Structure 1
Amino acid sequence: MKSNQKILIIDDDPRNIYALELSLRMKGYSSVTSSSAAQGIAALHANSDIAIILMDMMMPDLDGYQAIGMIRNIPGYESMPIIAVTAQAMMGDREKCLAAGANDYISKPVDMDKLLLILSNNL
Structure 2
Amino acid sequence: MEKNKILIIDDDTRNIFALVLTLKTRGYTCLSAASAADGLELLKNNRQISVVLLDMMMPDMDGYQALYSLRTDRRYPHIPVIAVTAQAMPGDREKCLAAGADDYISKPIDVDDLLRLLEKHMAS
> Taking structure 2 as the reference length, what is the TM-score of the superposition?
0.95
2:57·2:85 contact (CA, 8 Å) conserved in 1? yes
Per-residue CA deviation, residues 5-42 of structure 1 (Å, 9 max, x unaligned), is 41000000000000000000011100100000000000
Q: Once the 2 structures are TM-superposed, how far is the Cα of residue 3 of structure 1 from its aligned partner?
A: 4.4
One-letter code aligned to 2:50: A
Q: How does 1:54-69 map to 2 (within 5 A)?
A: 54-69=53-68
Per-residue CA deviation, residues 25-65 of structure 1 (Å, 9 max, x unaligned), is 01110010000000000000111111110000000010001
One-letter code aligned to 2:69: M
Per-residue CA deviation, residues 57-91 of structure 1 (Å, 9 max, x unaligned), is 00001000110010111122023100000000010
| Distance of 2:3 and 2:88 partners within structure 1 | 33
C-alpha change, 1:122 and 1:87, in structure 2 (3 Å) is: same
- The residue aligned with 1:9 is 8
- The residue aligned with 2:77 is 78
List alignment gaps of at least 5 residues for structure 1: none
1:44 partnered with 2:32: no
Q: How does 1:89-100 map to 2 (within 5 A)?
A: 89-100=88-99
Aligned residue pairs total: 122
Aligned identity (percent) is 57
> Taking structure 1 as the reference length, what is the TM-score of the superposition?
0.95
C-alpha change, 1:120 and 1:5, in structure 2 (3 Å) is: closer
CA RMSD between the two structures? 1.1
1:72·1:79 contact (CA, 8 Å) conserved in 2? no
State the secondary structure of the residue aligned to 1:54: strand
State the secondary structure of the residue aligned to 1:28: coil
List alignment gaps of at least 5 residues for structure 2: none
1:7·1:31 contact (CA, 8 Å) conserved in 2? yes
Moved more, 98-107 or 75-84: 75-84
